[in-house]
DNA sequence: GAGTGGTCTAGACCACCCT
DNA sequence: GGGTGGTCTAGACCACTCA
């Protein structure tokens, strides 16, 4: 029986349910190497008993770890420490800030703003954000770094009407998600499309990829009430990030 | 109270649980336009009562529809018919045959084999399939069509030792998944990586994309027992398919 | 056959939205 | 305040794996 709890790992602020707490705790134990690769974890019934929660809660936590590629649940056999590959990579189905993901992977995130400006929305932006054409938005262009290397270029547009006064000045100095969170704006869902892009117009500055190849994550973030908050086009430098999806039948 | 049940839609053969049945039934009603876009569905309690299942089962079904982008579940407000866009697109987190997905989108799937051959595995293939170097595999190269248009080029490698005699001859005449299914080989999980690729070596034949841009889905399919079955590299022609991911916090 | 995960239930309480 | 979804429980039964 453990009592300490999971290490403080923020991400998007969530209500800390028992299932999420359990998942974080097991995740920490897994990453700490408490169980060897390929070995079996305690059964769901055992985990339920030792953590004093119901089996359903244990299953919820384990399924989250499975979708992150950390464990492998096999019917009738048990739950095993995943043996898929070497590193923990960026899962796509969980929403989170890129900065946070980079930090969790053990790297030092960085950011370089190119522009932050208020301007009328373009037609495409207005469409995605359900705004009348030309409504004012906050537009940003920035580079996202990991250990000093450029991993992505991001073009983001935020609705101005959902930003409380004062927030505009804060943005441009840190993680966009973290600023939004501080002002009570919490994206809870995103609708993302994926594209392959080749262009020399996307990146800027020195050390931009010579082949101009990017994986574009084109997404609209929504508040809990399904109000579109932000439209992002993030161009990930091909090869800099590994996108992983666990697909299940 | 309904009694008919969901339209016969195959996909990968699954145990037909109540939750899956319910999801398929609601999906059919949604696609039939029974509820207008943006309108509220009956509450979970009402659905549970009318389908004679528990609320947990209703929730499981609704969450599946949410991850397909069909509905929008809002805490405290209700579950709404999604208003995100026009069409139903290919979700990435659910495992299924491409042929089947194309059919569900209302198009006519097609396939053109270029090669089907038995040969020793390359180093990369052996690694992904957990085979000794040079072990025999069945390698295929094919074009995937939708209404006669090329949507993807796929390079697939199947372990020979898991194929029963007779299966080899069948492959090359239809959906690979469907043949495997008929012989009792059921992929249940896939570990997929995404890449942007630009190359003129990938496609072949006439009407291949002139810009050579592809979204590569590089994946290993596993059996329920976590045995690697098939290694696929599917190059989707950029723009021909729309990949959609619903990301939740 | 013993043990594991997969599904399902009925009921409870909480957090949130709306009016 | 009334209704909706979000989480959780304790217990049950089934399907699968493995020795």
Residue B248 has pLDDT above 80, yes or no: no
Domain boundary among A57, A81, A105: A81
Q: How confident is the model at residue A217 (pLDDT cuts 50, 70, 90)?
A: very high
* B72 and B137 belong to one structural domain: no
Is residue A225, in this structure, part of any structural domain at all? yes
Phi first, then psi, for residue B200 (nearest 5°) are -100, 5
Instruction: State whether the beta carbon of B77 lies below 7 angstroms from any atom of strand D.
Output: yes
Residue B122 has pLDDT above 50, yes or no: yes
- What CATH number is associated with residue A44? 1.10.10.10
The protein footprint on chain D, as nucleotides within 7 A of a CB, is: 3-12, 15-18
Query: Which of A231, A113, A109 is closest to A162 using CA atoms?
Result: A231
Q: Would you state the pLDDT for residue A249? A: 66
* B115 and B227 belong to one structural domain: yes
Tokens of A209: 């990829």
Q: Would you state the pLDDT for residue A90? A: 56
Is residue B150, in this structure, part of any structural domain at all? yes
pTM: 0.83
* B132 and B227 belong to one structural domain: yes
Q: What is the mean pLDDT of residues A63-75?
A: 88
Vertex A151: Cα angle to A147 and A156 (nearest 5): 120
- Give chain A's length: 249
* B126 and B235 belong to one structural domain: yes
Domain boundary among B81, B99, B128: B81
Residue A17 has pLDDT above 80, yes or no: yes
Q: How confident is the model at residue A13 (pLDDT cuts 50, 70, 90)?
A: low
* B96 and B34 belong to one structural domain: no
Q: What is the mean pLDDT of residues A88-100?
A: 64
Share of chain B above pLDDT 70, in %: 88
Is residue A130, in this structure, part of any structural domain at all? yes
Residue B2 has pLDDT above 60, yes or no: no
Nearest chain B alpha carbon to A81: B226
* B70 and B124 belong to one structural domain: no
How far are the Cα atoms of A161, B133, B136, B220 from residue B122, in angstroms, in the given order? 56, 7, 10, 15
Q: Would you state the pLDDT for residue A95? A: 61
Burial class (CB within 10 angstroms; exposed 0-12, middle 13-18, buried 19+) of B71: buried
* B22 and B141 belong to one structural domain: no
Q: What is the mean pLDDT of residues A109-134?
A: 92
* A95 and A68 belong to one structural domain: no
Q: What is the mean pLDDT of residues B73-99?
A: 72
Is residue B7, in this structure, part of any structural domain at all? no
* B154 and B210 belong to one structural domain: yes
Q: How confident is the model at residue A94 (pLDDT cuts 50, 70, 90)?
A: low
The protein footprint on chain C, as nucleotides within 7 A of a CB, is: 3-12, 15-18
Q: Would you state the pLDDT for residue B175? A: 75
Distance A119 CA to C1 C1' (A): 71
Domain count, chain A: 2
Residues of B in contact with A60 (CB under 8 A): none
Residue B194 has pLDDT above 80, yes or no: yes
Q: Among A13-17, A110-114, A140-144, B131-135, name the one with the lowest average pLDDT.
A: A13-17
Phi first, then psi, for residue B51 (nearest 5°) are -95, 0
Q: Would you state the pLDDT for residue B90? A: 58
Instruction: Between A63 and A223, name the one with better pLDDT.
Output: A63
Q: What is the mean pLDDT of residues B7-27?
A: 76
Residue B83 has pLDDT above 70, yes or no: no
Domain boundary among B64, B81, B98: B81
* B49 and B147 belong to one structural domain: no
How far is it, in rounded angstroms, from Cα A216 to Cα B67? 20
Q: Would you state the pLDDT for residue A84? A: 54
Is residue B9, in this structure, part of any structural domain at all? no
Is residue B171, in this structure, part of any structural domain at all? yes
Instruction: State whether the beta carbon of B189 lies below 7 angstroms from any atom of strand D.
Output: no
* B107 and B178 belong to one structural domain: yes
> For the segment B56-67, what is each residue's pLDDT rounded down to a tens digit?
999 999 999 988
How far is it, in rounded angstroms, from Cα A88 to Cα A101? 10
Residue A210 has pLDDT above 50, yes or no: yes
Q: Would you state the pLDDT for residue B44? A: 97
The count of other CB atoms within 10 Å of the CB of residue B193 is: 16
How far is it, in rounded angstroms, from Cα A189 to Cα A220? 8
Q: What integer best gives the mean pLDDT of chain A?
A: 84
Q: What integer best gives the mean pLDDT of chain B?
A: 84
Q: Would you state the pLDDT for residue B87? A: 41
Q: How confident is the model at residue B95 (pLDDT cuts 50, 70, 90)?
A: low
**How does B48-67 read in b/e, with b if 16+ C-beta sit within 10 Å?**
beebebeeebbbbbbebbbb
Is residue A2, in this structure, part of any structural domain at all? no
- What CATH number is associated with residue A231? 3.40.1410.10
Eight-class DSSP state of A33 = T
Q: Which residue is nearest to nucleotide D3 (CA to C1')?
A: B76
Give the closest-approach CA distance of B109 to chain A in angstroms.
21
> For the segment B224-242, what is each residue's pLDDT rounded down to a tens digit?
778 888 999 999 999 888 7
Is residue A65, in this structure, part of any structural domain at all? yes
How far is it, in rounded angstroms, from Cα A163 to Cα A157? 12
Residues of B in contact with A14 (CB under 8 A): 249
* B205 and B98 belong to one structural domain: yes
Give the closest-approach CA distance of A137 to chain B in angstroms.
21
Give the closest-approach CA distance of B80 to chain A in angstroms.
10
The neighbouring-strand residues paired with B194 are A243, B217
Q: Would you state the pLDDT for residue A122? A: 95
Q: Would you state the pLDDT for residue A83? A: 66
Range of the domain at A113: 90-244
């Amino acid at each position: 029986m453990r009592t300490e709890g999971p290490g403080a790992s923020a991400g998007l602020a969530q209500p800390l349910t028992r299932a999420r707490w359990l998942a974080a705790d097991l995740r920490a134990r897994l990453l700490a190497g408490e169980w060897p690769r390929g070995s079996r974890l305690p059964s769901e019934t055992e985990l339920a008993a030792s953590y004093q929660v119901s089996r359903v809660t244990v299953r919820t936590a384990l399924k989250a770890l499975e979708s992150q590629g950390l464990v492998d649940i096999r019917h009738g056999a048990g739950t095993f420490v995943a043996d898929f590959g070497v590193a923990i990579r960026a899962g796509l189905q969980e929403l989170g800030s890129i900065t946070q993901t980079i930090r969790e992977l053990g790297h030092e995130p960085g950011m370089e703003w190119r522009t932050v400006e208020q301007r009328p929305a373009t037609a495409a932006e207005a469409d995605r954000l359900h705004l009348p054409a030309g409504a004012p938005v906050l537009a940003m262009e920035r580079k996202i770094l990991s250990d000093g290397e450029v991993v992505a270029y991001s073009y983001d547009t935020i609705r101005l009407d959902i930003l409380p006064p004062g927030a505009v000045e804060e943005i441009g100095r840190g993680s966009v998600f973290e600023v939004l969170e501080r002002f009570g704006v919490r994206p809870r869902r995103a609708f993302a499309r994926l594209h392959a892009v080749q262009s020399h117009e996307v990146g800027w500055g020195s050390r931009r990829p010579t082949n101009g190849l990017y994986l574009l994550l084109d997404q609209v973030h929504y508040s809990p009430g399904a109000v579109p908050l932000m439209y992002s086009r993030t161009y990930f430098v091909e090869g800099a990030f590994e996108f992983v999806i666990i697909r299940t039948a």
